[in-house]
Amino acid sequence: MTATTAARERAVLYEASRPPYSPSIVDWLSGQALGGAAVVADIGCGTGLSTRILKPLAQRLIGVEPDAGMRAVATQRMAGDAEIMAGSAEATQLPDASVDLLAAASCFEWFDPGPAATEFHRVLKPDGQVVLMWNHRLIIDEVTASWDRLWLRHMGPRLGPAPQDIEGILVPAFLEPDRRRFDHVDLHRYDRARLRAFAFSSGYAPRPLHRRRRQALLAAIDAFLDRHGQVGAVELAFSTVAFLGRPRTRPSSYATNGTCEGLTSRFIERPATAQQTDDR
């Protein structure tokens, strides 16, 4: 299997298994004087999960994605609804002063904040805003705690900032102090096929050449569902969290090299009992 084929297959699993962002975020954004924003650009749009939820806000909708596999799925899924293009947060390829709302869903922590802020100021209209959002998986009961233990056992701890540090350190360093916050919890049904797709859509999942590890993960998913499933499925809880505001002209310093790398070694030691977690 080529790297390109593997990336495309992972993107398809991602699209099939990841929960949608809460639809109520559209009403919230509309209430922030963003209803009918003329141009909305979703930066790091992935397969288009976040792009899709933003459609009611936009007269023109653009998805910007650096990964070719994700971009191919987004292009297919969003045909006729959004323009999907290659680019990154630091180099969006968008024209100057052309965007009313820039969105970044479950990817902001991987931006290089200084260049991203410069780029966002370049492409935003004078009154344009940025919305940063995530779908955090929650631990609310024994079922969700058991899934989290399975995830940690077979995928290992996530690298990069923990959700509480993203919200408490990275977002305040990037957005102006008058930013606004949204939070809404939804339950999503996962049957056997969707749980498997969810696991193997992760960048931490064992690759095809690691056959024993993959078989162990599949067996663990089956055992988890046999123990906790009701009518062949479980419910996992996710919280859509978003922050809306203007980017700072110069992000506050929170890492010596201007990226999240300075935070990583400190954050990966967080205990697995945290109530918010994240999946890659």
Q: Domain locations in the chain?
A: 3-137+159-186+239-265
Q: What residue has token string 């499933």?
A: 229
The Cα–Cα gap between 39 and 129 comes to: 11
Intervals of the chain under pLDDT 70: 1-4, 6, 35-37, 253-280
What pLDDT score was predicted for residue 64?
A: 98
Distance (Å, whole) CA 240 – CA 257: 30
pLDDT single digits (tens) 155-207: 887 777 888 899 999 999 999 999 999 999 999 999 999 999 999 998 889 98
Q: How far apart are CA 202 and CA 155, in angstroms?
A: 8
Token look-up 């999942």 returns 205
Q: What is the pLDDT of residue 260?
A: 43
pLDDT of residue 241: 97
Residue 203: predicted pLDDT: 85
3-137+159-186+239-265 under CATH 3.40.50.150, yes or no: yes
How does pLDDT run across 128-156, given as a tens digit for each residue? 999 999 999 999 999 999 999 999 999 88
pLDDT at site 204: 87
